[in-house]
Amino acid sequence: MTDAAHGPENWVELHGDYLYRFALSRLRDPKTAEDALQETFLAALQSLGRFEGRSSERTWLAGILKHKILDHFRRGGREVGLGDRDEPPNMDADLFREEGGWKLDQNSPADWADPDRTLEQSRFWEAMGRCLGALPSRTARAYTLREIEEEEMDAICKDLSITPTNLWVMLHRARMHLRRCLELHWIGRMTT
């Protein structure tokens, strides 16, 4: 059960900004993130009596939000037809030689210093949101479900109506795009 200092009347003030950033970094659309946050608070109010306090209030709310985000992606996967192929061809052709390996040294990945500390920085999440927003929608959806929400590959394939091979290619393209984009919009700004 929650105490008076951390009851529902304080959720927006105590957790709203954190939860909104969490949703926005995954959904990439402010209105959709706001909707997910409202659905989260409503679901939390409805299930408040079942909250046992085994986790912090913020962790509990983030868990509910994560499920709302997954529901959004699942709905989106069903709404996208099989003819929706928004993958640009050869997204990473400029990075590798035909026999394998990086084409140029400057194309090799930059040093990210301390990755764990990076995830705590709001500037990183802002850049990540912009970079995810530049991906084709199905690719971003696949990446978010797998790498951020940690969904199983089989479940993602089913939700997006794609083959495991297609998912593997989409994830590879997403990682390559995000690496380049983050190096330009986040790492590049750190060193200047």
pTM for the full model? 0.48
Residue whose tokens read 């795009």: 177
Asked whether residue 104 carries a pLDDT value surpassing 70, the answer given is no
What is the share, in percent, of the chain residues with pLDDT greater than 90? Answer: 15
Domain boundaries, the chain: 4-79, 105-191
Fold of 105-191: Arc Repressor Mutant, subunit A (1.10.10)
Cα–Cα distance between 60 and 82 in angstroms, integer? 36
Asked if residues 28 and 141 have their Cβ atoms less than 8 Å apart, the reply is no
Average pLDDT over residues 11-25: 87
Fold of 4-79: Rna Polymerase Sigma Factor; Chain: A (1.10.1740)
Please tell me which residue, 162 or 120, carries the higher pLDDT value: 162
Asked whether residue 80 carries a pLDDT value surpassing 50, the answer given is no
Average pLDDT over residues 15-33: 85
Q: What does the pLDDT read at residue 28?
A: 77
Q: In whole angstroms, what separates CA 181 from the centre of its chain? A: 15
Average pLDDT over residues 156-182: 90
| CA 93 to each of CA 68, 100, 176: distance values in angstroms, whole numbers, following the listed order | 36, 11, 10
Asked if residues 156 and 146 have their Cβ atoms less than 8 Å apart, the reply is yes
Asked whether residue 171 carries a pLDDT value surpassing 90, the answer given is yes
Asked whether residue 29 carries a pLDDT value surpassing 60, the answer given is yes
Asked whether residue 132 carries a pLDDT value surpassing 70, the answer given is yes
Question: Is there a common fold for 4-79 and 105-191?
Answer: no
